[in-house]
Chain A
Amino acid sequence: MYVVVGYGNVLRRDDGAGLILAQHIADFLNLKGVDVLHISVQQLAPELIYDFVGADGVIFVDTCAIHADPVVCVDPIFTQPVSMTVGHHMAPEMLLLLLEKLLDISLPAWMVRVPGWDFGFGEGMSSQTQRALTHFGDELERDWQAIFPAESLFQTNTTRRAY
């Protein structure tokens, strides 16, 4: 079973793109016969680690405000967080570290980042983010196993893939 976690705020325009894409990925993988647990949250909080127990891997999907290219990127996540700072919400790396330290579980995980431009109040997304989502959806449809290889669906490697 794979956990797909989308997070963001649909009332902050592009910030909601992660939630929308997570739903799409979960539905898509499900149709392809992959057992998926889909979770939507505004921000990551520590109790989510209990949802990862028994999973084979986790895909986090978020909007990213700082991006070099206007495309969706898929990166492996390593359990060492860049920052140890914890607030009311956490980074995926911190959640994975909690999972490892508290429950002694290590999981392969991926970060899917949607490029975002407009984080103002309101519904709907910017045309650039919409385009990036559409393009990623097409790529997923065309060759999903290249993005998420079936035999080692979420085996971590150091290669970033941009779509």
Chain B
Amino acid sequence: MGKTLTIDPVTRIEGHAKITIHLNDAGDVEDARFHVTEFRGFEKFCEGRSFWEMPGITARVCGICPVSHLMASAKAGDAVLGVHIPPVAEKLRRLMNWAQIVQSHALSFFHLSAPDFLLGLDSDPAKRNIVGLIETHPDIAQNGIRLRKFGQDVIRLLGGRSVHPAWTVPGGVREPLANETREKILKQLPEVIHIAERALDFMQEVQSNFEQESHTFGEFPSLFMGLVTPEGGLEHYDGVLRVVDAQGNNALPMSLLKKGDEGIASTRYKEIIGESVEPWTYLKFPFFKPDGTDLFSGMYRVGPLARLNVCKFAGTPRADQALRRFRQLSAYGKPVLSSFHYHYARLIEIVFALEKMWETLEDRDITNTHIRSQAGVNQLVGVGVSEAPRGTLFHEYHVDEQGILKKVNLLIATGQNNMAMNETVKQIARYYVKGDKLTEGMLNRVEAGIRCFDPCLSCSTHALGQMPLHIQLLSAHNKLVDEVFRH
């Protein structure tokens, strides 16, 4: 007779979710599911509004990565206008996007995941948190806040405020960068790069302590998707969409590519991505259509790990050096397959983002005041794509001739990792869950497996929430066998 273990809700992620682990008669894990118990609704809410309002509206989907929605939304707006934005406007948008990557990854690594690394996955959950971290490693906790503050300050300096800046608009940006602000940001960069590099050194040192986790936290073959520059470099704002398989080979059908192409135009995403639904979760299951003969064969991952797997190089000295070391985690030329290494990938992306910000700010043209292209509605469909901290973000708008939205589709990074998160939970559960008793070590690892993806369920379901932990163990007949609460 089978049994079901339920972890409800999952802690240190954004939004409401629970995990059920299904046991077979022998007490072994047969299946595991990551359920998202919030519903989505933002797309419907946007219908009837003007596309001009969309950056401001969709930024409010999330208080953590509003800039990502600003970028994708403004780019969809550019497409509706049918304009190329001025070069300096693109540089400024990139600057804000990198600042967003820095602040979001800093929170994920330093405050949400560092307690696992530094205090151990078997440590007392009452102490394995930010307060425990402060007591044992105050410098790490403070560095995390410092990096986040830097990212938020840059967003505020550019956009006027750090959350929901109404600065990125269809056609460009609202305000140019003052030279004084440019110098203010430049002045802080040496310190924050030093912090990021120290964190990277730390990560490289502790890797060997987590050998077991790196093989059991979502190490499986899958596809990886992300934007790359036309030359194949690491990209967060524009470029082309690249998909590689678990061997590192291009997975896009040759019929979609021209010779020498690194990927396809990201606006063609619907030709390669389908969406499926399951009755037990509000989170959709996007899948790679060309390989999607069944749902899980089309499984792909997005986000920091995927971006480092799809790019040929980073494009900045420090990040390229770190990328070379990172790639030693897998066989030569093969992608890094373990989801555990999302953490490591985040740190490399922080270093990359800071280096790119430095390079961009040293360009004197950055203070040019030609920052916006003016036009009316020229296209009735606009697609905007950018890389959010958690992965590729798609906004697609259908408008009438007055620019009123008739249909909106938001394809969010966390949703695209849905299948991989389920697979990760299953792999961890199979390794660590024995019998029908819940143990702290097992729960901590299942949760930590989900945290590798740093999921933002507020974004992916477009709702709000925070959570304690509730775990239930149920028999096949829904009889409660074991239960744990953690507040």
**Do A and B share a complex?**
yes
**Chain A residues whose CB sits within 8 angstroms of the CB of B162 once the complex forms:** 41
Check: A46 CB closer than 8 A to any chain B CB: yes
**Chain B residues whose CB sits within 8 angstroms of the CB of A50 once the complex forms:** 145, 149
B148 x A47 contact (CB < 8 A): yes
**Chain A residues whose CB sits within 8 angstroms of the CB of B41 once the complex forms:** 120-121
**Chain A residues whose CB sits within 8 angstroms of the CB of B134 once the complex forms:** 98, 101-102
Number of interface residues of B (CB under 8 A): 46
Give chain A nearest CB distance to B147 CB in angstroms.
9
**Chain A residues whose CB sits within 8 angstroms of the CB of B466 once the complex forms:** 85, 87, 89
Give chain A nearest CB distance to B110 CB in angstroms.
9
Check: A68 CB closer than 8 A to any chain B CB: no
Tell me which of A9, A86, A119 contacts B12 (CB under 8 A): A86
B467 x A87 contact (CB < 8 A): yes
Give chain B nearest CB distance to A13 CB in angstroms.
11
Instruction: Tell me, in angstroms, the Cα distance from A120 to B462 when the chains sit together.
Output: 11
**Chain A residues whose CB sits within 8 angstroms of the CB of B126 once the complex forms:** 84
**Chain A residues whose CB sits within 8 angstroms of the CB of B117 once the complex forms:** none
Check: A72 CB closer than 8 A to any chain B CB: no
Tell me which of B64, B132, B161, B487 contacts A83 (CB under 8 A): B487
Instruction: Tell me, in angstroms, the Cα distance from A109 to B357 when the chains sit together.
Output: 37
Check: A43 CB closer than 8 A to any chain B CB: yes
Instruction: Tell me, in angstroms, the Cα distance from A43 to B131 when the chains sit together.
Output: 19
A85 x B487 contact (CB < 8 A): yes
Tell me which of B60, B107, B467 contacts A9 (CB under 8 A): B60
A121 x B145 contact (CB < 8 A): no
Instruction: Tell me, in angstroms, the Cα distance from A85 to B466 when the chains sit together.
Output: 9
Check: A122 CB closer than 8 A to any chain B CB: yes
With both beta carbons as reference points, the residue of chain B lying nearest to A49 in the complex is identified as B145
Check: A20 CB closer than 8 A to any chain B CB: no
Q: Which residues 6-36 of A sit at the B interface, judged by CB distance below 8 A?
A: 9-12, 15
B163 x A42 contact (CB < 8 A): yes
**Chain A residues whose CB sits within 8 angstroms of the CB of B172 once the complex forms:** none
| A and B contact pairs by CB, cutoff 8 A, 10 listed | A43-B63, A43-B64, A47-B145, A47-B149, A87-B112, A89-B466, A98-B130, A98-B134, A102-B134, A121-B42
Which of B91-99, B136-144, B286-294, B324-332 contacts its partner? B136-144
With both beta carbons as reference points, the residue of chain B lying nearest to A47 in the complex is identified as B149
Give chain A nearest CB distance to B163 CB in angstroms.
5
**Chain A residues whose CB sits within 8 angstroms of the CB of B145 once the complex forms:** 46-47, 49-50, 98, 102
With both beta carbons as reference points, the residue of chain A lying nearest to B44 in the complex is identified as A121
B131 x A46 contact (CB < 8 A): no
Say whether chain A's binding surface is mostly helix, strand, loop, or mixed.
loop
Check: A133 CB closer than 8 A to any chain B CB: no
Instruction: Tell me, in angstroms, the Cα distance from A49 to B146 when the chains sit together.
Output: 11
Known contacts A10-B60, A87-B11, A87-B467; is A102 also within 8 Å of B142 by CB? Answer: yes
**Chain A residues whose CB sits within 8 angstroms of the CB of B317 once the complex forms:** none
With both beta carbons as reference points, the residue of chain A lying nearest to B63 in the complex is identified as A42
A86 x B464 contact (CB < 8 A): no
Known contacts A42-B163, A94-B130, A101-B134; is A88 also within 8 Å of B64 by CB? Answer: yes
Known contacts A86-B130, A102-B138; is A45 also within 8 Å of B107 by CB? Answer: yes
Q: Mark A113-131, 1 if CB is under 8 A from B, else 0.
A: 0000001111000000000
Check: B171 CB closer than 8 A to any chain A CB: no
B63 x A87 contact (CB < 8 A): no
Give chain A nearest CB distance to B136 CB in angstroms.
12
Give chain B nearest CB distance to A154 CB in angstroms.
24
Q: Mark A79-106, 1 if CB is under 8 A from B, else 0.
A: 0001111111100001001100110000
A119 x B464 contact (CB < 8 A): yes
A87 x B13 contact (CB < 8 A): yes
Q: Which residues 7-39 of B sit at the A interface, judged by CB distance below 8 A?
A: 11-14
Check: B310 CB closer than 8 A to any chain A CB: no
Q: Which residues 443-487 of B sit at the A interface, judged by CB distance below 8 A?
A: 456, 458, 464, 466-469, 486-487
